[in-house]
Amino acid sequence: MRIDNLQYCNWSQTVFEQMHQGGLTGVHVTVAYHETFRETVANLEQWNRWFERFPELIFPGRTAADLKTAEATGRTAIFFGAQNPSPMEDDIGLVEILHQLGLRFMQLTYNNQSLLATGCYEEDDTGLTRMGRQVVTEMNRVGLVVDMSHSADRSTIEVADHSSRPIAITHANPGWWHAARRNKSDAVLDAVLGPKGDHGGMLGFSLYPHHLKGGTDCSRADFCEMIARTADKYGAHCLGIGSDLCQDQPDSIVEWMRVGRWTKEIDYGEGSASAPGFPPQPDWFRDNRDFPGLAEGLAAAGFDAGEVAGLMGGNWARFYETSFGPVDG
């Protein structure tokens, strides 16, 4: 069972074949950064065409049971997520509609203030908004997971408190390891995972170079050592991978992620004017074929076989089981 809980590749037969070669059971893929509802639906239409074209490699994932189907048939189940609430526009009724169309994760913010909460690039964090509280309750009802990867601290802590169900940070690393704007404070990790990892929430470790100590030059051993130290505090059971792999994407895509339609000026986000594009991946994690190596690194960092299996996918699978539908369904 291998799950990568965040990717946004330039999808192709090659990428899907590499998922198969890397033994990926499930992948959570981003279907919207700044898209409206209708634009998100157009992205889902494109996914339907890929499902139709490559049925021997991928199929739509909706429930944890689809992971079993993926294992049994040697394919990869694709789970949808949005990195921004833009697909639901200003309409709480779209929460359930998006869930019916397969959305299983939704970030409440992408860097900026949204209608729901504050993003991690704003100067002031005013926490969960009035609409944000209503939407989190609705997401709890239908089984759409709240993802706070790109949100600010206060907003994240308030959501962890308000949400009746565990939430997730699908792709980030601890800030004590590498103090990037997108990495997470101890207070945020305590709120999401629980001070002893007892809140039911999940953290997916990111392999996006801006989130890594040393960036592109970060070693696999350093990365796995960081995971081991995180597990010392929270336990390994609430940790997984959310690689943030953006394989084969042109630099115009990272500009779209950062700039969307919210500014006429360039915003470099985690990059800079001198390095505006996607940073190169570490040489030990370039594509889905590198997942077996990651498992080796985790074993070398001291995790036992059960813990490695959990970190590589079992923990996300357990989270999926209780998160993707109504509580009583």
Binding site for a copy of itself (CB under 8 A): 37-38, 41-42, 44-46, 48-49, 91, 93-94, 96-97, 100-102
Nearer to a copy of itself, 13 or 48 (CB): 48
Q: Which residues contact 321 (CB under 8 A, 6 or more apart)?
A: 64
Report the residue number, 22 or 87, with the smaller CB distance to a copy of itself: 87
Residues 199, 146, 27, CA angle at the centre, nearest 5°? 100
CB of 89 to a copy of itself, least distance (A): 9
Measured CA distances, 232 to 113, 228, 254, 315 (Å)? 34, 6, 34, 16
Q: Which residue has the tokens 């590749």?
A: 9
Q: Closest distance between a copy of itself and the C-beta of residue 110, in Å?
A: 22
Nearer to a copy of itself, 38 or 264 (CB): 38
Q: CA 259, 261, 262 angle in degrees (round to 5)?
A: 75
Minimum Å distance from CB 52 to a copy of itself?
Answer: 8
- In angstroms, the first-to-last Cα distance of the chain is 24
Report CA dihedral (297, 299, 302, 305) to the nearest 10 degrees. 160
| Closest to a copy of itself by CB, 43 or 155 | 43
> What are 250-257's contacts with CB under 8 Å, separation 24+?
250/10, 251/276, 251/277, 251/278, 253/8, 253/10, 253/278, 254/278, 256/33, 256/34, 257/33, 257/83, 257/110
CB of 278 to a copy of itself, least distance (A): 28
Q: Three-state DSSP class for 296? A: helix
At its nearest, how many Å lie between a copy of itself and the CB of residue 137?
13
Cβ 101 to a copy of itself shortest distance, Å: 6
Closest to a copy of itself by CB, 37 vs 176, is 37
Nearer to a copy of itself, 102 or 143 (CB): 102
Minimum gap (Å) between residue 99 Cβ and a copy of itself: 10
| Neighbouring residues of 53: CB distance < 8 A, sequence distance ≥ 6 | none
State the Cα angle at 224 between 178 and 221, rounded to 5°: 95
Nearer to a copy of itself, 51 or 268 (CB): 51
Nearest distance from C-beta of residue 38 to a copy of itself, angstroms: 6
C-beta closer to a copy of itself: residue 49 or 261: 49
Query: Other CB atoms closer than 10 Å to residue 179's CB: what's the count?
Result: 10
Contact between 214 and 222 (Cβ < 8 Å):
yes
- The helix (run of H) or strand (run of E) holding residue 141 is helix 130-142
